[in-house]
Every structure is written in C-alpha cells, then in structure tokens.
Amino acid sequence: MARLIAILVGLGFVIILAYSFVVGAYTAATDDAAPTAEHEFHLHPRDAHLQSAGWTGTFDYQQVQRGYQVYKEVCSACHSLRHVAFRNLAELGYTEAEVKAEAATWQVPGINPATGEPVMRPALPTDVFPLPYANNVAAAAANNNAVPPDLSLITKARHDGGNYVYSLLTGYRDPAGYTHDGMSLNEEFPDFTTPTGLHFNPYFPNLNLAMAPPLTSAGQVTYADGTEATVDQMAQDVAAFLVWTAEPTLQKRHQTGFPVVLFLIFATVLGFLAYRNVWRNVKH
C-alpha cells in the first residue's frame, strides 16, 4: 500500500512539473517580450558603400591606405592590431623601402643585446603592430574598466562588419531628445540613462559604450593624397582598412571564386547530358 501511495505521489509531481513546463513554454512562445530601450532604439548599420562589399567586391587600395593612416593616428592609441605584420602593408601598394620606413616609425618591445634588458626599439617589417597597453589590466584602467578590443578581425567578429564600424564611428548621439521611427527615447523609457563615463550610440547593442567618439572633427587627419578628411570620410576609410585586415585575400577569393563556380556549373550540365546520353536507351 505504501509503495502504491509513493508511486501516486511521484506521478503527481511529474504531472505538475510537466504541466508547468508546457504552460511556461507556451507563454514564452506566444507572449510578446516587454519592450526595452535596447530593442526599440538599437539601429542596424548604415551602408558605408565600401568597394569591398558584395560578391564581386574589390579593394580600393588608396582608400585602404587612408584608413591605415586613420588607424595609426587615431585608433592605435587604444586598439591593437596584433594579427597584422608591417610587411603586410606591401599588399596595399607600399614599396619595400616604404614598408621599412613605415615600420621604423613604430616602437616595439625588444631586448638590449649588450645587457639583456628590455628596451623599446624601432619596428622591423617582420614585427606585428605593437600593443598600446602592457596588459588588459592597464587597458581597463585607462578606459573606464573596458578593454578596447583588438581590431585585426573586428569586421569578421561583428555582423555586417564594415558597415558596423562605419556606423558606430559616426553614430554618437545625445540621448536627450533622441527619436527613432517617431518614438522618443525619453518618453518611451523615462528611466533610461547613460552612466557617467559611457557614451550613447544607437548602433551599439546596449546603446551605451565606454569608447568616447574617436573621430570628432574634420581635418583630424591630414591625408597624404589630399582627400578632404571629413568625419564621414575618415570613418569610411578606416572601415575599409579593417575589412582588409580581417580578410586581406578577399579580392583574390572573389576573383578566383566566380570562374570556379562557372566551371562547376558547366561541369554539372555536361555530366547531366552525358548521363542522359549513356542511359537514354535503358528501360526501367
């Protein structure tokens, strides 16, 4: 008798748990989630109109060179590029002498051959771009407890990467009075605030980020080719550069891919016609 009661009690618990699970799953699937500021006001990246976009994209190497200049003079103060070596700049059209000269303008950690002590030395083409901070603790301490990400692969690590970088750099706003699709952020979410030390940017997933606007005014960089350095132009150029650092073989891949696809289509059609010719007289 006691065993029967125990079985019935256990069965009752199982039924209650199953009912709770089914009701909870149904509610989660059918009820609309409570709106949040991040959901309502987060914006998808704008089109940067980069030449590298699309299936047939190629690099505008003059633009990529300008983007490298923006990285060097603005972004490198906080962000590393540790998966790129100075010798890779030759792929952008720089000569061997220019690559050596450019590398030498950067300081990288080295060892004094006479004393064995750590020193800073001019970089060589074989060196990778140096880290701006000694470690993540120092990076966080200098950036409101946020470690600036390495930018080598940033456009592959973020959805719609090139457009994301461009939109983020040009997307800083004042949250006071900010509207989107006819909705006012202050009216819809009166409790929304941008904490001290953070900056409002609707292209960032949670709307507030630690990075202050890096591109603040036109002429912040003086381009060697004479292009007017507006904020929008600088954002486009550095986005193009970071697309290249993330996938330097993109142009070659596109140039190779289409002939391969066309050949495979041709071979498939040829194989199908051969199959029909060989087996046309065979009856099932």
**Position 168 confidence tier, pLDDT thresholds 50, 70, 90:** very high
pLDDT at 107 over 60: yes
pLDDT single digits (tens) 4-55: 776 776 677 778 887 777 766 666 666 555 678 888 899 999 999 999 998 8
Residues pairing with 184 in the sheet: 179
**Cβ(238)–Cβ(71) below 8 Å:** yes
> What pLDDT does 73 receive?
97
Confirm or deny that 39 is annotated as ligand binding.
no
1 a known binding residue?
no
Q: Which amino acid type is present at position 14?
A: V
Report field, pTM of the whole predicted structure over 0.75: yes
User: Which among 58, 127, 62 is positioned nearest to 93, based on CA atoms?
Assistant: 62
* 229 contacts 237 by C-beta, under 8 angstroms: no
Q: Is 120 annotated as a binding residue?
A: no
**Strand boundaries in the chain, DSSP class E:** 107-111, 118-122, 179-180, 183-184, 199-200, 208-209
Q: pLDDT tens, 189-235?
A: 999 999 999 999 999 999 999 999 999 999 999 999 999 999 999 99
Q: How much is the average pLDDT of 75-103?
A: 96
Q: Which helix (H) or strand (E) holds 97?
A: helix 96-104
- What the chain holds in terms of domains, given with CATH numbers, is 54-252 (1.10.760.10)
Is residue 211 annotated as involved in ligand binding?
Answer: yes
